Structure 1
Amino acid sequence: MAILCLDIGGTEIKSMLKREDFEKTLANFPSKAGTNAPDIRNDVFSLVDELKNDYDIDGIAISTAGMVDYKTGIIAGHGPTFKNYKGFDWKKEIKDELGIPAVVENDVKAAAMGELTYGAGKGFNSAFVLTVGTGIGGALILDGKIHRGASGHAGEIGYMPFETDKFEALASTSALVKNSQKFYPDKNFKNGKIIFNAIDDGDEDAIKLVDDMTRFLARGIANIMLIVNPELILIGGGISEQKEKFLDPIIEKVRAYVPENIFAATRIKATELGNKSGLYGAYAIYKQNIK
């Protein structure tokens, strides 16, 4: 028996077969989210048909972009890259068509569970995981489980207000690029990689841009540490791979914002599982919820 794990994004869908003693990464396939998201089910059902000749599929674990009602698994909302996704009920569709159980979780929360169970957070009981990319997403894990809060959406730190704007409008990768184009239009700072490479060349403008970004991120992380006091802060997104130029400066700036005893109690690390964290997290959530 194996669990089919899916990570549904706006442009592609990742998939993996998983059980405790077995793991098989499957080929990514295009997502129909931008045209009509409910059509994704047909591709999922076709994938199950292909796999069942060689594997017994016991259930399906889904990590998906968008807001998920954790009580029902129904999609509660989504961004502009998805069409007609709100109200879609993965659990019912899968039960009706395949007769097997399913779990559905928001992709950031699933990625957090993946890291805590199989990645950089393994061995920790509490962690806050934030992903830095187009926006900033977050998830809080307490006692090995997702903490959801009163509305079910605890951890949405991208909306956290600062003096001039929301957290993600100041500290995301897209904010870094937007600021570079605003303040230095004559430079070819069209993405984060170019900006970080410019730091290696001693470009003072690139250094200033990243210094501002890491300062805002450090303030946000300091607020999380002061309120939650987790054992671990994990930072994900491609930009987190820039240890000396990104992660190390954040850590030093956080130290200046919080009391030393609080700083010493929390590790700050980069995530480890990359783009497979949602798949591992979906599997971990399936194990927690389906007996």
Structure 2
Amino acid sequence: MTAAVEVVAGVDIGGTTTQVVLCAADLGVIDRLGVPTPAAEGGAAMVGAALDALRRLLDRTPCRLLGVGVGAAGVVDARAGRILVASDSFRDWAGFPVTATVEEALGVPASLDNDVNAFLRGEVARGAVAGERHVLGMTLGTGVGGALWLDGALYDGPNGAAGEIGHVPGFGGLRCTCGGHGHLETLASGRSIAARYAERTGRSGARFTARGVAEAAALGDADALAVYEAAGAAVARAILVAAGLLDVTTFVIGGGVSRAWALLEPSLRRTLTAEPPVSGHPVRVLPAALGDDAVAVGAASRVRAGLDRVTRA
């Protein structure tokens, strides 16, 4: 009888969708399943939905599960395996013991990571920056997140906030969702792109999300093009700040807004060309390659690395 393949699972618990993947030893995705996130029903329901999806994958894929990695939005305590702070779109999520719940349900090791950290782990493991030693990752979604990979490992800093480029000031005076002013997020997040377009045109509503503004830009709408041009230039300025401070010159950009890469890239490249980093080393900026799998694959890579350390010990 052929032995069942050994796999690790990765889970991305987002505000709308939970993505679950099964990964082989090389972190290649064997199977995947996306299900709605019951964010309004509380932490137990959210983790329960992820576990149900994972069990469905295991039922249809002959394999032996070794561990589960979870990537989740919000501020997390990765060492304790629980959510510290969550947005008000998640009910009873702050304080929820994610890894303990998963381990009790499945009897295998589990790990927890912030979703942006997991995104970067995924892109370094199997994506656009595979094998790179020094990378700053940026996600342009509802908000703007960042994570830092230094000398071949995630660097989260003494307070867990390293790489959070989305909330660095210096990008005008608009009020940010975090309460600060002039943060990158006020120009480059999906929510802000829709807001900046509404300010210019008076048009808002369901049709004019960041995707709707991108569709208008593709049809030649001058205001939509201007909003994306401002977003791309702001991202480039943030990249130049990071390159100057950290001497990191490789960047990977994901999130829903990055799907409009053709609209962001021209002003991004122009800004980088006009103001190269002081090191003189060329800056590489790459769109993410893993799409909706990035966070889940990154979460799987974290638990995989933990299992490898135990094996070597």
> TM-score by structure 2 length?
0.84
| 1:132-156: CA deviation from partner (whole Å, max 9, x where unpaired) | 1211000001122110111012122
- Stretches of structure 2 lacking an aligned partner (at least 5 in a row): 1-5, 174-181
Measured in 2, the distance between the counterparts of 1:118 and 1:49 equals 24
What is the aligned-residue RMSD (CA, Å)? 2.3
Residue of structure 1 equivalent to 2:7:
2
- For the pair 1:171 / 2:171, whether they are aligned, the reply is no
Q: Distance in 1 between matches of 2:216 and 2:17?
A: 31
**Given the alignment of the two structures, is residue 252 of structure 1 paired with residue 270 of structure 2, yes or no?**
yes
Q: Residue type of the partner of 1:280?
A: V
Alpha-carbon shift at residue 205 of structure 1 (Å): 2.3
Give the aligned partner of residue 26 of structure 1. 32
What secondary structure is seen at the aligned counterpart in 2 of 1:220? helix
**What is the rounded CA distance, in whole Å, between the counterparts of 1:187 and 1:16 in structure 2?**
36
Q: Structure 1 residues 25 and 206 mapped into 2: Cα distance closer, same or farther (>3 Å)?
A: same
Q: 1:287 aligns with which of 304, 309, 312?
A: 304
Structure 2 distance, partners of 1:203, 1:3, is: 46
SS for the counterpart of 1:108 is: helix
Shift of 1:280: 1.2
Query: 1:41 maps to which residue?
Result: 47
Matching residue's letter, 2:208: K
The letter of the residue matching 1:61 is G
Gaps of 5+ in 1: none
Equivalents in 1 of 2:87, 2:18: separation in Å? 16
Matches within 5 A, 1:120-199: 120-162=128-170, 163-164=172-173, 165-185=182-202, 190-199=208-217
| Matched-pair contact (CA < 8 Å) for 1:109–1:146 | yes
Residue 227 (structure 1) aligned to one of 240, 245, 249: 245
Q: Distance in 2 between matches of 1:3 and 1:286?
A: 7
Q: Provide the rounded CA distance (Å) in 2 between the counterparts of 1:186 and 1:66.
A: 30
- d(CA) in 1 for partners of 2:74, 2:218: 37
Is the contact made by 2:243 and 2:277 (CA closer than 8 Å) also made in structure 1?
A: no
Asked if the contact 1:124–1:231 (Cα under 8 Å) also holds between the matched residues in 2, the reply is: no
Query: Which range moved further: 280-289 or 270-279?
Result: 280-289
| 2-structure distance, mates of 1:131, 1:8 | 15
Cα distance in 2 for residues equivalent to 1:198 and 1:45: 39
In the alignment, which residue of structure 2 is the partner of 1:78? 86
Matches within 5 A, 1:263-278: 263-264=281-282, 266-278=283-295
- Equivalent residue of 2:133, what SS? coil
* Equivalences, count: 290
Asked whether the equivalents of residues 197 and 227 of structure 2 are also in contact (C-alpha less than 8 Å), the reply is yes
2:293 partner amino acid = K
Amino acid in structure 1 at the alignment position of 2:104: D
1:190-224: per-residue Cα shift (whole Å, max 9, x none)? 13334334444443323322222222222112111
Mapped contact 1:48–1:57 kept (Cα < 8 A): no
- 1:108-123 map, 5 Å: 108-123=116-131
Cα pair 1:116 1:144 within 8 Å, conserved: no
Look up the equivalent residue of 2:302 and give its one-letter code: I
> Shift of the alpha carbon at 1:227?
1.0
Choose which of 13, 16, 21 in structure 2 pairs with 1:16. 21
Specify whether residues 37 and 245 from structure 1 end up closer, same or farther in structure 2 by C-alpha distance, changes over 3 A only.
same
CA distance in 2, matches of 1:39, 1:202: 44
- The normalised TM-score by structure 1 is 0.90
Partner of 1:242, secondary structure, is helix
AA matched with 2:19: K
Q: Partner amino acid for 1:32?
A: P
Cα gap change, 1:125 to 1:28, in 2 (>3 Å)? same
Deviation by residue 1:141-180 (Cα, 9 ceiling, x = unmatched): 1122110111012122221112412220122222121011
